[in-house]
Amino acid sequence: MTLSRPITQAAGALRDKFREVRATSLALAAPLSAEDQCIQSMPDASPTKWHLAHTTWFFETVLLQPHAKGYQPFDPRFHYLFNSYYEALGPRHPRPHRGLLTRPSVDEVHAYRRHVDEAVIGLLEEEGERGEGGLDWAAIEPIVTLGLNHEQQHQELLLTDILHALSCNPLLPAYKPASGPALRLAAVPPAVRWLSRPGGLVEVGHAGADFSFDNETPRHQALVQPYAIADRLVNCGDYAQFIADGGYQRAELWLSDGWAAVQANGWRHPAYWLAPDDPRLGFGLQPQQHHQQQHASPQGAAAGWHVFGLNGVRPMEADAPVAQLSFYEAAAYAEWAGARLPTEFEWEAACDAPGIAQMTGHVWQWTRSSYDPYPGFRPMPGIAAEYNGKFMVGQLVLRGGSVATPAGHTRPSYRNFFPPAARWQFSGLRLAKDL
Amino acid sequence: MTLSRPITQAAGALRDKFREVRATSLALAAPLSAEDQCIQSMPDASPTKWHLAHTTWFFETVLLQPHAKGYQPFDPRFHYLFNSYYEALGPRHPRPHRGLLTRPSVDEVHAYRRHVDEAVIGLLEEEGERGEGGLDWAAIEPIVTLGLNHEQQHQELLLTDILHALSCNPLLPAYKPASGPALRLAAVPPAVRWLSRPGGLVEVGHAGADFSFDNETPRHQALVQPYAIADRLVNCGDYAQFIADGGYQRAELWLSDGWAAVQANGWRHPAYWLAPDDPRLGFGLQPQQHHQQQHASPQGAAAGWHVFGLNGVRPMEADAPVAQLSFYEAAAYAEWAGARLPTEFEWEAACDAPGIAQMTGHVWQWTRSSYDPYPGFRPMPGIAAEYNGKFMVGQLVLRGGSVATPAGHTRPSYRNFFPPAARWQFSGLRLAKDL
Amino acid sequence: MTLSRPITQAAGALRDKFREVRATSLALAAPLSAEDQCIQSMPDASPTKWHLAHTTWFFETVLLQPHAKGYQPFDPRFHYLFNSYYEALGPRHPRPHRGLLTRPSVDEVHAYRRHVDEAVIGLLEEEGERGEGGLDWAAIEPIVTLGLNHEQQHQELLLTDILHALSCNPLLPAYKPASGPALRLAAVPPAVRWLSRPGGLVEVGHAGADFSFDNETPRHQALVQPYAIADRLVNCGDYAQFIADGGYQRAELWLSDGWAAVQANGWRHPAYWLAPDDPRLGFGLQPQQHHQQQHASPQGAAAGWHVFGLNGVRPMEADAPVAQLSFYEAAAYAEWAGARLPTEFEWEAACDAPGIAQMTGHVWQWTRSSYDPYPGFRPMPGIAAEYNGKFMVGQLVLRGGSVATPAGHTRPSYRNFFPPAARWQFSGLRLAKDL
Amino acid sequence: MTLSRPITQAAGALRDKFREVRATSLALAAPLSAEDQCIQSMPDASPTKWHLAHTTWFFETVLLQPHAKGYQPFDPRFHYLFNSYYEALGPRHPRPHRGLLTRPSVDEVHAYRRHVDEAVIGLLEEEGERGEGGLDWAAIEPIVTLGLNHEQQHQELLLTDILHALSCNPLLPAYKPASGPALRLAAVPPAVRWLSRPGGLVEVGHAGADFSFDNETPRHQALVQPYAIADRLVNCGDYAQFIADGGYQRAELWLSDGWAAVQANGWRHPAYWLAPDDPRLGFGLQPQQHHQQQHASPQGAAAGWHVFGLNGVRPMEADAPVAQLSFYEAAAYAEWAGARLPTEFEWEAACDAPGIAQMTGHVWQWTRSSYDPYPGFRPMPGIAAEYNGKFMVGQLVLRGGSVATPAGHTRPSYRNFFPPAARWQFSGLRLAKDL
């Protein structure tokens, strides 16, 4: 019986965490209308409502159905509708058609969430009471934890995806009117400082008993050469100079696929920047989007640009990190700046470098590392085997974490990944150099 | 002053008609959620909300802005958002992106409608009071009448488009649960009777002072050869035999482009039919969709088919007209049946043939006539010049009118038109033969 | 026995005709290298070598295999390779891949032609000797005649297709260097004269015992309204004025699909025109393409244009008929000119109008008639059923005949047809007007 | 003067090498007709003639124009036609249209080669005579050497590309009839032996004065974990078992992008395998392709398969290395086999492992390494800067060398690279395992 208490405490803590994470998802959707939550602006993005339902489906399918005796699914058809990409779990609604699901409604999805939440909390409490007799704790705890980390990933996607959807509306409506300066940074010195880092064997990857994704493991040694890394992110002012210097017109700065993307898509600036002559500047701005600027207006290359973000359209702030960049743009910028992107191991090894700033909480940082498996990598067992490993080709690693990442979700060893042309994420860059 | 009364009466009648047509649009949208009203299931279809706004934009742009002194637009940006295809009226939101407009919301569109309705009614009442001094009546009346006919066309499109959107949802939700047998016909004898019609010069097209579209004019003579026309539409039972006889596998029955469409799209039956083994039959049926059938179950080729429609999924009714057919399918069916489609002039000349049935109110009827201009055709003046004429290539004429067509909207001379591959309309066919 | 002589004469005449037509195909290919004859520049066009083989396949498949006892196919695999679109004759090499057939070589195709030619001539001579005992003459003669007309159609396609292929080469090589002014016309007065034509019932279509295609039949009456038709074709000088007047920038002149094609494809002038600033003018001109011009240089709108044709690049000649136009461009030009295209029946009825010129031998003339079946139309029996009828949707009728049409191949009732966007044919226009 | 001799010898040796490599390209094209040499079967592949001209263009542009005084270009327009992807060298003929260049003819391209060959040899001989006074030798020698290595790469591409082109012909013609068993290997024991390799720091990359490409440098240390590597390649018999075990139907074996490629393209076996029921087996085989087999027929899973290759269609040989595999297929096979692909560093470190076989000369071997830059990588200076570096994203490294690779062209440090879906190369795999 004495053993029952720690388990009960653990169950209680997990239950509280569960409630908190689940509530956060709803809070993120709260500023959005039912219409906002329904649409899908491109096949790579998903509707808000779909995120709310899919994260629920994950708990229902991976936790409740195998582990909660007598659990009754909310609606068996949701198994088909809200599977994302798990081949082992059978056929599913095609990804590009997620925006056509006006039914179930947002209200029904909310009811679905409540149904599943109650069952999960019931399971956790029952398990908690049972104490050491709770034979399933060892199975349940990792699934709930995975489900919560999974939901946090979708919280960020919910924001990036709705921002993309709103960016397709010529009115450029704000996700949430700004109540003050948004995305503002602690003042940083304008000049980059280069931090020298020694070469040698470094330990990378996740170790220890706390949660990580499988792609961060096993922890292992990696060899790096001596290098320097910038103490801060590339900011909008920096990037505006790249544009002003013809960055988008100079083939020699670009990777071949990147230059092809520039030509094919007519890229001239980051995805959500509005050039000074953009017709929507006269057209689409709602009064609440004209936030009182307390910063001096940007000068020179930075003048006249605006940036669309979660708070709507705002004058570009020169010292805000540049975001919504593809890897191709990040790499071209680095080439133009006479530098390069850090590898993911250089980035990880610099995490605790004295003087380094903006390592997380602003933008994900493209690295010069392809998303390959770590030596000895093994996917998670069971259905989660499809979680990370099967995407390990054709993508690049991003490190750090963004303003849209839930607090506490990331780690220095955390590996985010996207294809090189993706530019609707909160993705930017930090420079590095050989020494 | 004696002349003022007729004008006042005319204005009053037009105002009443205006109120009625405008209210009908809202009534058609009423069963739909905000989510339903927002989405666009393919570039050819438009969201419900867009139909509600675009028809309003038409009155605002064509009637109020030029003719109502001091009219203040509801929101000048709507001019860009809700133009459909009028090149003369400037740039517009791209058609394939109509489904991305979560803002303005349905509520805002309702407010837009009220704003414009009040202004139109105000204009009509002012004009009515002014009597013969109302110098603009001659200009205003045709525009309002055109706007109402335009809105009625969109009422049908609203239904066809939302039906397509709902058909993309694997749950196959009903637009409106059936309160009784839907789309049911007065009993018709199962066998087609062929009505013989003489050849010679016939008068076709619209004449007279009442409203018609420009594409129905000028009224003129056309020469037809002696022919026979079926007294009824091809029904689902007929069409099921075509399918059972390998109709979709026999290239020799099809026009070349039609056969290519069959191959490319995997067509095996009309757009909204569900084969007996369709997985959605076990999966997607809501209780209310299982309507109590009072008809004997279809036998033979017709057995086991279901059809999705405005009342959801229902067992196929053999004597209901087949609908949601492309021209290609209509022509292949006619070939299989040893007959052909009537020309649009044969159809029009048979309108008053004794014994002919189902000429309107069931499905639009594909004819074997390309949508070419009539001799001496002149587009409507002004902006309405873009209404019909510019589409006169690559389309086929349909005649009649469907269950989704507002009562009183069509005429024997009415020319509907769609490209030959279109199959999301209430479109079917009637057979004809040479004599 | 007396009856044998006419049959022998008929067989002899047909044999001579056969030799002549077959030799013409080879003569048309003679200026081309094996490489030229192999490639396919777009799915709508076919390689020269394929035309030479397919026309041979037609005789082998439709004539020799059913009618020549003991005939041994040259290579049974050619049955698959050189079928064009005859569904009844089984699977075939996909049209877009015709340019990948480097084998059989041109030499092998020549051997194939000789093999089939000998067999056909043998059959005709045997039949001719047999006299009235020749029981198959009634079957054979129409097939050979059809085959020869079929081959003549491919002779024109051979030229239009190779011209398109050569136009894709930035060197713009000439099919055949000019030995003198090419495509030159008898001098015509610069101003168009309008020829008035009465309305009423006119006889159209083919009648009589000589050959025609099935789509020209049955001969029947058609009703036309009084109209005027231009005595000459629209020429390059005329068309240059349309361009100079912003014709390609003015949406109001275009059919909706036409304007979409202009936007999507960046059309700014006819397919083979080179604007004065075209870089290939400095780049690609071979000495032999600079033909000594004896005409005064065009003035005004016409100045500086060049046109690529079978003789290579040459300065535009203002009084040469404009060619390589789509229907959309022809219709937009007519709209700009305050006129319209004639219907196919107006064109046919004007064929013998006093003073009318350039009705054939210059360019095919787009009409305002969709390619619909004639009243009572019946396809040819047997395999030839697929020849014309199955294409009767989505295309427009062209009348006349071009410089590339074999002499004697066309008739006033001849109906050529292409989709409205096709612009690699020798296709132009003549204006008409309502009276 | 004493110094002149070594230079003369070096120049003489380079001249001889130049003649040999240039002659080899022509010898590879010799079995092909002018038609074969002209076509392009997909945008990724190039015509034989284009390879012959482009490699010549490289010498003309990079060597002769800057370094040979008074050099007259053969035809200035070829500068535009035969540039491949060098942005710094100006606009160029679009890659997908290379197959439309029937002119210049093969004969003209041969003349172009002779013209450039004479100038290069003249330059080398002049330089050789000049001795130490030859101030340009240090500039010229690396360019000529690069040009020859470049040409050798195109020699392999010439073979892979023409093989693809011939594979698109349903007749499946042989590039060159077999005069004996083709692609035959020294007998290897059927069972794979696993060679254990220690972990630790290994030296990788190229060092030394002899030629290498920039992407192999700088030589540096890499850390590998202990591993085992297979002593031989995966062969056709192995791969047939993967197919027989449902390899192409089991999603769990595939990377996500790989499974999508399988579904989208209908992959069921390697690109050039013919299933036992392939209709071309009865249809397309030329007598000379039925080579007298001296091997026992494969048993079991391997029975009935045929493989198309440079000698035409031949019964599959179970112990021949499997080729024409994509990375996706290689990775799925490895997963099925309970193993993985080696990283490029594991591969390189195993090059001299005792007992290892088939490291080069059979097929390129996909590795589990993305094509990322080496630490400290710097592109070659000048125009060659675009040679390798700009492709370093989205591709995978292959190591080894194939039957189509010119003898002596590769090294253990050689890095070939292709996108993961590429499957028209002589590409296969070798397995590895963690220890």
3-class secondary structure, C12: helix
Residue D318, classified by CB atoms within 10 Å of its CB into exposed (0-12), middle (13-18) or buried (19+), is buried
User: At CB < 8 A and 24+ separation, what contacts does D124-130 make?
Assistant: D124/D11, D124/D14, D124/D15, D124/D18, D125/D11, D125/D15, D127/D7, D127/D11, D128/D7, D128/D8, D128/D10, D128/D11, D128/D12, D128/D15, D129/D8, D130/D4, D130/D7
Burial of B381 (0-12, 13-18, 19+ CB in 10 A): exposed
CA-based nearest residue in chain B for residue A169: B101
Read off the pLDDT of residues A144-157 as tens digits, 9 standing for 90 and up.
999 999 999 999 99
Q: What is the pLDDT of residue D77?
A: 94
CA torsion angle D64 D65 D70 D76 (round to 10): 110
pLDDT by position in tens, chain B (length 435): 344 445 678 889 999 999 999 999 999 999 999 999 999 999 999 999 999 999 999 999 999 999 999 999 999 999 999 999 888 888 899 999 999 999 999 999 999 999 999 999 999 998 777 655 555 888 899 999 999 999 999 999 999 999 999 999 999 999 998 765 544 444 445 789 999 999 999 999 998 889 999 999 999 999 999 999 999 999 999 999 999 999 999 999 999 999 999 999 999 999 999 999 999 997 754 433 444 444 445 567 778 999 999 999 999 999 999 999 999 999 999 999 999 999 999 999 999 999 999 999 999 999 999 999 999 999 988 888 899 999 999 999 999 999 999 999 999 999 999 999 999 999 999 999 999
**Backbone phi and psi for residue C228, each to the nearest 5 degrees, phi listed first:** -120, 145
Measured between beta carbons, the chain B residues lying within 8 angstroms of C345 are none
Report the pLDDT value the prediction gives residue D109, as an integer from 0 to 100: 98
Q: What pLDDT score does A187 carry?
A: 46
Q: How far is CA A134 from the centre of its chain?
A: 35
Q: Please name the residue of chain C whose CA is at the shortest distance from the CA of residue B343.
A: C375
Supply B275's token pair. Answer: 């084969």
User: Among C88, C258, C391, whose Cβ lies nearest the Cβ of B256?
Assistant: C391
B and C: number of Cβ contacts within 8 A: 85
Q: Which of A345, A393, A396 to mutate to test the interface with D (most CBs of D within 10 A)?
A: A393
* CB-based contact A38 B41, cutoff 8 Å: no
Q: Least CB-CB distance to B34: which of A33, A93, A104?
A: A33
Query: Is chain A in touch with chain C: ≥3 Cβ pairs within 8 A?
Result: no
Q: Which residue of A has its CA nearest to B99?
A: A39
Residues 6+ apart with CB under 8 A from C60: C71, C73, C74, C78, C116, C119
Q: C255–B224: do the CB atoms touch at under 8 Å?
A: no
Q: Where along chain D do its domains lie?
A: 9-167, 194-271+321-434
Of B33, B80, B169, the CB nearest to A34: B33
Q: Tokens standing for D294?
A: 């001296």
| Residue count of chain B | 435
How many Cβ pairs within 8 Å bridge chains A and B?
89
Residue B393 with chain C: CB contacts under 8 Å: 255, 257-258, 327-328, 331, 370, 396, 420
Asked if A393 and D258 come within 8 Å (Cβ–Cβ), the reply is: yes
CA–CA separation, C75 and C56 (whole Å): 12
Give tens-digit pLDDT for D73-120.
Answer: 999 999 999 999 888 888 899 999 999 999 999 999 999 999 999 999
- pLDDT > 90 in chain D, percent: 81
Out of C39, C169, C170, the one facing D39 most closely (by C-beta) is C39
Low-confidence ranges of chain C (pLDDT < 70): 1-7, 130-135, 179-189, 284-299
Mutate to test the interface with C, among D32, D33, D35 (most CBs of C within 10 A): D35
Q: What CATH class is the domain C194-271+321-434?
A: alpha beta
Using CB atoms, pick whichever of A99, A105, A170 lies closest to residue B39: A99
pLDDT at C288: 39
The tokens describing B79, both together, are: 């001019």
Strand partners of residue D227: D197, D434
D76 by DSSP, 3-state: which? coil
In chain D, the residue whose alpha carbon lies closest to the alpha carbon of C167 is: D100
> C271 with C423: CB under 8 angstroms?
yes
**Cross-chain CB nearest to A85 (options D256, D373, D386):** D256
Q: How many CB atoms lie within 10 A of CB D338?
A: 8
* Contact assignment for C35 to D34 by CB distance below 8 Å: yes
Residue D156's alpha-carbon distances to A142, D151, D213, D215, D405, in angstroms, are 52, 9, 16, 19, 5
Tell me what pLDDT residue A289 has: 41
Nearest-CA distance from A72 to chain B in Å?
Answer: 17
| A35:B37 CB<8 A | yes
Per-residue pLDDT reduced to its tens digit, A321-353 = 999 999 999 999 999 999 999 999 999 999 999
Contact criterion met (CB below 8 Å) for C49 and C101: yes
Out of C97, C106, C169, closest to residue D103 by CB? C169
Q: What is the pLDDT of residues C2-34, one digit of tens each?
A: 444 456 788 899 999 999 999 999 999 999 999
Q: From chain C, pick out residues whose CB is under 8 angstroms from the CB of B224.
A: 375
Pairing of β A427-428 and β A364-370: parallel
Closest Cα in chain A to D253: A390
The SS3 of residue A179 is coil
CB neighbours of residue C206 within 10 Å: 20
Strand order in the sheet with D427-428: D416-418, D396-399, D364-370, D427-428
Interface mutation vs chain C, best among B219, B252, B386, B390, most C CBs within 10 Å: B390
Of D223, D256, D386, the CB nearest to A390: D256
Check CB contact under 8 Å for C393 and B257: yes
Cβ C35–D36 below 8 Å, yes or no? Answer: no
| Chain C touching partners, 3 or more CB pairs below 8 A | B, D
Cα–Cα distance measured from residue D334 to residue D189, given in angstroms and rounded to the nearest whole number: 20
CA dist., res. D124 & res. A230, Å (int) = 48
Picking from C223, C327, C368, the nearest residue to B223 by CB comes out as C223
The C-alpha of C165 sits at a distance from chain D's nearest C-alpha, in angstroms, of 7
Mean pLDDT of chain D: 91
Closest by Cα among B41, B35, B34, B305 to B163: B41
How many residues does this entry show for chain C?
A: 435
Taking an 8 Å cut-off on Cβ atoms, the answer to whether B220 and C225 are in contact is: yes
Q: How many helices (H) and strands (E) does chain D have?
A: 12, 12
State whether C251 and B375 contact (CB < 8 Å). Answer: no
CB within 8 Å: B254 and C390: yes
Residue A10 has what pLDDT? 87
Distance CA C365, CA C420 (A): 12
How is residue B274 written in tokens? 């569900």
Q: Do D376 and A434 touch (CB under 8 A)?
A: yes
What's the 3-state SS for D257-313?
HHHHHHHHHCCCCCCCEECCCCCHHHHCCCHHHCCCCCCCCCCHHHCCCEEEECCEE
Tell me: the pLDDT tens digits for D334-346?
Answer: 999 999 999 999 9
Closest-CA distance, A92 to chain B, in angstroms, reads: 10
pLDDT of residue A182: 47
Estimate the crossing angle of helix A48-58 against helix A106-130, to 10 degrees: 30
Of C201, C254, C331, the CB nearest to B223: C201
Spell out which residues of chain D touch residue C283, defining contact as CB-CB under 8 Å. Answer: 77, 80
Q: Which of B80, B100, B284 sits opposite A77 (nearest CB)?
A: B284
Q: Give strand pairing partners of D309.
A: D312
Which residues of chain B approach chain C closer than 8 Å at the C-beta?
85, 87-88, 201, 220-225, 251-252, 254-259, 327-328, 331, 368-373, 375-376, 385-386, 390-394, 396, 420, 434
Torsion C86-C92-C96-C100 (CA) sign: negative
* DSSP assignments along A332-358, one per residue: HHHHHTT-BPPPHHHHHHTTT-TT---
The pair of three-digit structure tokens given for residue B58, joined into one six-digit string: 């038409």
Which phi and psi angles does C48 have, rounded to 5°? -50, -50
Question: Which chain A residue shows the shortest CA-CA distance from D375?
Answer: A225
Which of A127-136, B135-144, D238-247 shows the lowest mean pLDDT across its residues?
A127-136
**Residue whose C-alpha is closest to residue A393's, from D365, D434, D421:** D421
Per the CB < 8 A criterion, the answer to whether A174 and A212 are in contact is no
Which residues of chain C are at the B interface, by a Cβ-Cβ cutoff of 8 Å?
A: 85, 87-88, 201, 220-225, 251-252, 254-259, 327-328, 331, 368-373, 375-376, 385-386, 390-394, 396, 420, 434
3-state SS record for B337-359? CCCECCCHHHHHHCCCCCCCCCC
**Amino acid B10: pLDDT:** 87
Q: Do chains D and B touch (3 or more CB pairs under 8 A)?
A: no
Mutation for testing the C interface, residue in D100, D166, D283 having most C CBs under 10 Å: D100
Angstrom distance (rounded) from CA A330 to CA A323: 10
